[in-house]
Structure 1
């Protein structure tokens, strides 16, 4: 029997499924996505929290095609641009770079690339590795039990992004708290807006201080202030909004990946043993963990004009959502996709997106993950969960960064 076309779902009497959906396991996609892909195909119809219908992309090949299609817009300033939650809608109102289309997006991105390039990441590699080692040593000195998110993952990622941006690390507790409010699925639109304004006030004050310095520091914000703001190529608001998105994205996602990767390896002892036995394969292991976990699960687009993708006849103004978690479990792209295989070599995953909006900080995230996981498991080979796996609380992050609230460990 042939599968129903995506077009039929727009006119059928059956209610549309909700999108996004909750994970029932921290390292597995919501089970409803698999059912949709198997019964309806790679592009299906669903509805958002506000009742708005949306197209949802679940297949790997079609996702790659759509992520480079200029007919799909990322412009968050469009009045009809979709959002998967009220909280995300609040964030969309005041951020920059991510929610832009070329050529505007390209002009901003070019200013940032040198700070996140492969070369720059290699230069930072030693300091990242050293800091990760210090944090693992601190866990050992304190003795069991320990906690991975706040004891290793978050301080490593915060310290790294602070160094790149030129943000004082002594302020990390404040911006971590505000960023957590912005990505928490349990926060209201009002509270998310308040956290965004707090971050804006903090960055405004920091930019003001940097502007008064006779000699710029080495951070990216120093460069933007003393070069781009000084010559008028960027406005003060531009610099502040770039600082917000980089500060927020630069630590929250990586911290979640390190923590969830640790939990996943503890739940997969054979893969953990393989990881310990092959330190030279850490790079491949990180790629597989990025594919397998896919914590940034929702990418948002809007159709700028009519387009047809397979059976899906998408009209101008239609919402389009891409589920990275399910896309990275497509069996047509990855053999036995539900198996964690650290030797897989899954470099064609879409955990960092694809095309012009591919994550600018991906090289940095890889370096932090590799150092943190390698040092953690090599220096504490007896690492284990300090609680039952069922007691590890999953973030109900339907539209934000997937992960867990804390990871208690012992050894």
Structure 2
């Protein structure tokens, strides 16, 4: 019998801020693939099992093209015509267009090149930890540490002048928060587009030592460079910031794991992978079938949309032992927190470096770090936000 879900579950259980919505887990327990009714009545699919999510992410018959993603699981857009992705915004494209934009970037985000940035990440992290210590407790870890460090790193990579970062970060944050009004969202998007157009023109006229300047040497137009820069900035700012803040929250709520990390610095690499799996801040990916295909014993018809639940895939008991437990010594890798296939996160190595450096430095610099409010009072981002996380994380320590 085909399992069906009437609406995409988004509400997390009180007191369980790190677990996927209960109904989403129950759907996975029933079947790794379920029928899903979208807000406008479209009958699509919800993929919750690890093996099927990973297979779907790698299947070229499932498209990411923006103009084909006509339905939303939670919002009824009516008969609005969806345009193709703007030039350069390659996450919402398929090959060959997708590869045309991604290929020039691959060499800029190699493991080796990202590792060379470790010293700079350490320097920036130390500066922000010093500022936290000098200001004294309490502090909001989001504004003191989690947001500014990724902002500095991605802006330096792209060559965004230091003085422009706060404005830029604020506008990008409005895209991702899930709480911005339509009017403010449009205004923020327009402001970022205008800024990036000016930045691209400046790099074209006077190249500096950064990724955006390097890309002016390719055949990409100014409009395309603007779109590429927007994708890199949005991804580089918001996802890592939320992993740093939500990851710290998870560690503070798991004192035995926090103590293990503090006692064994070599554990941090494994700890980062486990936190990525456990939290899955990018909760879903969306695809649409280009043709009739078989997946998990079901026929996906051409034009039907699929929600790929990364969070439940990373909590699948058939793939991960005791999946709802945070275990920094877990040896089972292969999570899909960075997606999989041609759209696997381009900046994942930089994100890993930032997390390794920040978590290591933070737990050792502030050995008495703890929440400054009860855990249930920590303000969470709405479940409808593109990237899950906390709005703020009040912490304190023994000065």
Alignment partners' CA distance in 2, 1:372 and 1:333? 29
Q: Are 1:327 and 2:324 an aligned pair?
A: no
**What per-residue deviation string (whole Å, max 9, x for no partner) do you get for residues 317-352 of structure 1?**
000111111110000000000000001034200000
**1:1-400 → structure 2 map (5 Å cutoff):** 4-6=1-3, 9=4, 16-24=5-13, 25-39=16-30, 41-78=31-68, 80-84=69-73, 93-94=85-86, 96-213=89-206, 216-225=207-216, 227-228=217-218, 233-400=219-386
Shift of 1:162: 0.7
What is the alpha-carbon distance in structure 1 between the residues aligned to residue 63 and residue 182 of structure 2?
24
**CA drift at 1:91:** 11
Displacement of 1:191 in angstroms is 3.2
Contact 1:157–1:255, Cα closer than 8 Å, also in 2:
yes
Given that 2:67 and 2:83 are in contact with CA atoms closer than 8 Å, whether structure 1 keeps it comes out as no
| Equivalence for 1:12 | none
SS of the residue corresponding to residue 36 of structure 2 reads strand
1: distance between equivalents of 2:344 and 2:254? 29
Distance 2:136 2:385 in 1: 36
Paired residue total:
391
Cα 1:159–1:68 shift into 2, 3 Å: same
**1:267-321 residue CA offsets vs partner (Å, 9 max, x unmatched):** 0000001111110110000000000000000101000000111232110000011
Which blocks of at least 5 consecutive residues in structure 2 are unaligned? Answer: none
TM-score by length of 2: 0.93
**How many angstroms does 1:50 deviate by?**
3.4
Indicate the larger mover: 378-387 or 67-76: 67-76
SS at match of 2:44: strand
SS at match of 1:308: strand
State how far apart, in whole Å, the 2-side matches of 1:127 and 1:87 are. Answer: 45
Q: What is the CA-CA distance between 1:103 and the residue it aligns to?
A: 1.8
Separation in 2 of the partners of 1:70 and 1:344?
32
Deviations 1:354-380 (A, max 9, x none): 111100010000000111110000010
1: distance between equivalents of 2:128 and 2:38? 41
SS at match of 1:359: coil
Q: Secondary structure at the match of 2:90?
A: coil
Shift of the 84–189 alpha-carbon distance from structure 1 to 2, 3 Å rule, reads farther
CA distance in 1, matches of 2:161, 2:383: 29
State the SS of the aligned residue for 1:102: coil
Aligned-residue RMSD, C-alpha: 2.0
Q: Provide the rounded CA distance (Å) in 1 between the counterparts of 2:298 and 2:354.
A: 39
